[in-house]
Structure 1
Amino acid sequence: MQYLRHCNKFTTRGVSTQVANADLNITDFVNRNPRNLERMRIGYKPDGYHVEKPGKCFWHKLNLSQSGRYVYATIEHFENGTVLQASTKEWALKKQLYKCIDSSAYYNLGRVLAERCLKSGLIEVYSNITPPKPDGKVAKFLEALQKGGVNLQEPPQFKPPRPWDQYRHEKPWEVTE
């Protein structure tokens, strides 16, 4: 008897039968996604100290920097460091640009980073970048990132209600429609 993983079918000498997941008697389930608790909003989110200047209350943070010739954008995790990065120094992006530090470079860098974020499953990122001008380069980068489907605010961490709390907030893993 051979088990095919993706279609939940058992085959016996050419005869296939459908099998429900409940019939497989799987008792142990191991979640191999280390970010699953963060996606459900119940994972640890560092609060930091109130005297820290930048603060550290994020799961994933967006960083943007510019050197003399190139622009770099990274997404860093609070524990593991850099998770994703994109820059105008990459050849695939560099050969499509006129200059590597103009406003079109910032816009296209935002599009590329948004695509990479969605492919890796990051749809919410903390950003403390404030655009200095509404029509500036940084504003175009943030606009492209939002148009690409990345939200620039992370939801707050779910804290279980205490017995004395007046209001009970909805649990993030329960969907009520």
Structure 2
Amino acid sequence: MALFSDVCRSARVLLAQCQRSAAAAAWLHCQPAARKYSQAAPEPEAVVSDNEDINKTFVNRNPRNLEQMALAVKDRGWATVWPSRKYYHRLVLRRTQKHTTAEVYSCDSTDPVLSCSTTEWALKRQLGSMRSVAACRAVGEVLAQRCCGAGITRLYYREVPWMFRSKANQSFWRAMKEGGVVLNEPKQKFV
């Protein structure tokens, strides 16, 4: 009986090996010629388009981008000039006997970039006095809103110390800060 079970086991093993080798031969027969030999697949050719050409000269159409990253060059001016000319945008508050005016100047322009004044009809009809602390605060709030709308979030604001101590200047300064404008500029990064 033991001899019969050994012969059956050997026959099953031999039959399984034959079936495996036949299946392997059939599989190799169905494969393309590239699979039979060990060869690298051919590299696909790159498609070159005219849209992907790189321009030799680059023109920055958004110069404010360099200002916001503090990479743009600041004009230093003379050391004896006051106020200093190391700024991208400067905030100036003027109070005359009749009106209050705040203006934002660019470093390379003598004309204001943005301005707000109590001479504007919308502010004038809301205020009782054009020169009071409330007028300075209202001018600061409106100018801060305009600066944020124009994308100017950092300004250089330097006032003479004895003028800065007044309540009107303090309320203007607070209104600008509460409006989302930072009243100092980052130091220039030299790359």
Whichever residue aligns with residue 153 of structure 1, its letter is N
- Write out the 4+ residue segments of structure 1 that deviate beyond 3 Å after TM superposition: 23-31
Choose from 154, 179, 183 the match for 1:148. Answer: 179
Aligned twin of 1:85: 115
Q: How far apart are 1:54 and its partner, in Å?
A: 1.9
Q: How far apart are 1:51 and its partner, in Å?
A: 2.1
- Distance (whole Å) between structure 2 residues aligned to residue 48 and residue 88 of structure 1: 32
- Structure 2 residue 156 is the aligned partner of structure 1 residue 126: yes
Aligned twin of 1:158: 189
TM-score when scaled to structure 2? Answer: 0.66
Q: How far apart are 1:55 and its partner, in Å?
A: 1.7
Aligned twin of 1:56: 85
- Distance (whole Å) between structure 2 residues aligned to residue 53 and residue 120 of structure 1: 27
CA RMSD for the aligned pairs? 2.0
User: In proportion to residue count, which structure has more strand?
Assistant: 1
SS at match of 1:46: coil
Q: Tell me: CA distance 1:26–1:88, structure 2 relative to 1, closer, same or farther (3 Å).
A: farther
Aligned twin of 1:9: none
Identity %: 35
Return 5+ residue gaps in structure 2 as ranges. Answer: 1-48
Rg (Cα) greater in structure: 2
Q: How far apart are 1:132 and its partner, in Å?
A: 1.6
- Distance (whole Å) between structure 2 residues aligned to residue 150 and residue 128 of structure 1: 14
Which shifted more, 37-46 or 27-36? 27-36
- Distance (whole Å) between structure 2 residues aligned to residue 117 and residue 51 of structure 1: 30
Return 5+ residue gaps in structure 1 as ranges. Answer: 1-22, 161-177
SS at match of 1:144: helix
- Distance (whole Å) between structure 2 residues aligned to residue 64 and residue 117 of structure 1: 15
Q: How far apart are 1:40 and its partner, in Å?
A: 1.7
- Structure 2 residue 104 is the aligned partner of structure 1 residue 75: yes
Choose from 100, 108, 129 the match for 2:138. Answer: 108
TM-score when scaled to structure 1? Answer: 0.71
- Distance (whole Å) between structure 2 residues aligned to residue 26 and residue 154 of structure 1: 38
Whichever residue aligns with residue 78 of structure 1, its letter is C
Aligned twin of 1:175: none
